[in-house]
């Protein structure tokens, strides 16, 4: 690996190093060269001419050193990184460009729809409005700490008031995953999120108010004649998540054994309802049903299968041949 130092201006120095042979594209009309860093260009941005694929030696220049000694130390460090394949090429990509244009499209096929929706929401609503214009390679731990403090104090763009520590921690985990991928893909030398300090979560934040037995019986009695009573009864007696209960189908219910199998969840994403598989093996489970809840489900089955119920569904445009919902 080769490099040299030269004087720049009256009181500064810069180094130039050879970082190896790399893929590039050259315009067949104007001769302009473009390094292939993310994805190849279809045509020349300057003149619109065709591009040919080539491999050429690439050099990197860095200025701003006050003394020859500073420039020499920096060049030695850079050459060592190149030799050990740790060198990161300088790029003008911003935080928003990396998150929205590079990272999110790349991970979308690899994660669950709900996980992707959470990542996208954190990037668009919380990270990009404040840090989107920052160059990715200039992002540091202090900037992330400032972001977390702002979110804790003022909240996001659609929320007045600070976010809970758990919500800020979710933003931090999103950034940690994104910046870890940036390191793997050669955009960064290290994960900047490791140098930030998200707010601490305490056990008290997980405590939620719950109804007493008397309040629960009072609620179930007040909704006994409503269409969604089977859903409220099932949720109250089983402790299932809302999406798990809404994703139940009649084939999941074993009336003889008085139990129901949780195999999927119905979740809203971007205004659409999607069926999602459980995240873990423990998410697939059997739940025992009490006799009164089982009797309510039998009534639900009879009402769904009656001619009057089917006519009502048709009138509201809700019925379809593949409609097999147990509770809705």
Please tell me which of 3-7, 12-16, 133-137, 149-153 the model is most confident about, judged by mean pLDDT: 133-137
Instruction: Judge whether residue 319 has pLDDT over 50.
Output: no
The SS3 assignment for 104 reads: helix
Q: What pLDDT is attached to residue 103?
A: 95
pLDDT tens digits along 187-233:
898 999 999 998 876 655 556 788 999 999 999 999 999 989 999 99
H-type alpha helices, 255-306: 291-305
Share of the chain above pLDDT 90, in %: 46
Share of the chain above pLDDT 70, in %: 89
Instruction: Judge whether residue 321 has pLDDT over 80.
Output: no
For the beta carbon of residue 191, count every other beta carbon within 10 angstroms. Answer: 18
Q: What pLDDT is attached to residue 293?
A: 93
> Which of 171, 164, 88 is CA-nearest to residue 122?
171
Q: What is the C-alpha to C-alpha distance for residues 123 and 140, in angstroms, rounded to an integer?
A: 17
pLDDT tens digits along 82-141:
787 777 777 889 999 999 999 999 999 999 888 999 999 999 999 999 999 999 999 999
How many helices (H) and strands (E) the chain has is answered by 12, 9
- Distance of alpha carbon 225 from the chain centroid: 41
Prediction pTM value? 0.70
pLDDT tier at 320 (50, 70, 90 boundaries)?
Answer: very low
Give the DSSP H or E segment for 307.
helix 307-316
pLDDT tier at 318 (50, 70, 90 boundaries)?
Answer: very low
Identify the structural domains of the chain with CATH numbers, from first to last.
3-83 (no CATH), 95-201 (1.10.150.130), 213-316 (no CATH)
Cross-strand partners of 285: 262
């Amino acid at each position: 690996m080769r490099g040299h130092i030269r004087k720049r201006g009256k009181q500064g120095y810069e180094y130039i190093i050879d970082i190896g042979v790399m893929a590039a594209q050259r315009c067949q009309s104007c001769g302009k060269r473009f390094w292939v860093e993310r994805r190849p260009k279809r045509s020349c941005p300057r003149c619109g001419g065709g591009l040919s694929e080539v491999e050429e030696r690439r050099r990197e220049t860095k200025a701003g050193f006050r003394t020859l000694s500073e420039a020499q130390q920096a060049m030695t460090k850079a050459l060592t990184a190149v030799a050990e394949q740790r060198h990161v090429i300088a790029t003008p990509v911003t935080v928003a460009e990396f998150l929205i244009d590079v990272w999110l499209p790349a991970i979308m096929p690899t994660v669950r729809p709900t996980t992707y929706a959470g990542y996208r929401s954190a990037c668009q609503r919380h990270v990009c409005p404040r840090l989107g214009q920052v160059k990715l390679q200039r992002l540091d731990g202090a900037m992330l700490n400032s972001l977390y403090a702002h979110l804790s104090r003022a909240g996001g763009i659609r929320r007045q008031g600070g976010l809970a520590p758990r919500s800020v921690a979710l933003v931090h985990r999103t950034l940690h995953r994104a910046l870890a991928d940036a390191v793997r893909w050669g955009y960064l030398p290290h994960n900047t999120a490791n140098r930030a300090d998200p707010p601490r979560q305490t056990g008290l934040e997980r405590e939620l108010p719950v109804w007493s037995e008397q309040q629960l019986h009072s609620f179930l009695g007040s909704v006994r004649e409503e269409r969604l009573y089977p859903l409220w009864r099932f949720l109250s007696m089983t402790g299932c998540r809302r999406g798990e209960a809404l994703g139940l189908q009649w084939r999941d219910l074993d009336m003889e054994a008085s139990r129901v199998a949780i195999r999927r969840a119905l979740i809203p994403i971007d205004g659409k309802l999607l069926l999602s598989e459980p995240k873990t093996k423990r998410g697939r489970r059997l739940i025992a049903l009490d006799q009164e809840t089982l009797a309510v489900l039998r009534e639900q089955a009879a009402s769904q299968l009656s001619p009057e119920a089917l006519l009502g569904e048709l009138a509201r445009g809700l019925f379809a041949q593949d409609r097999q919902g147990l509770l809705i």
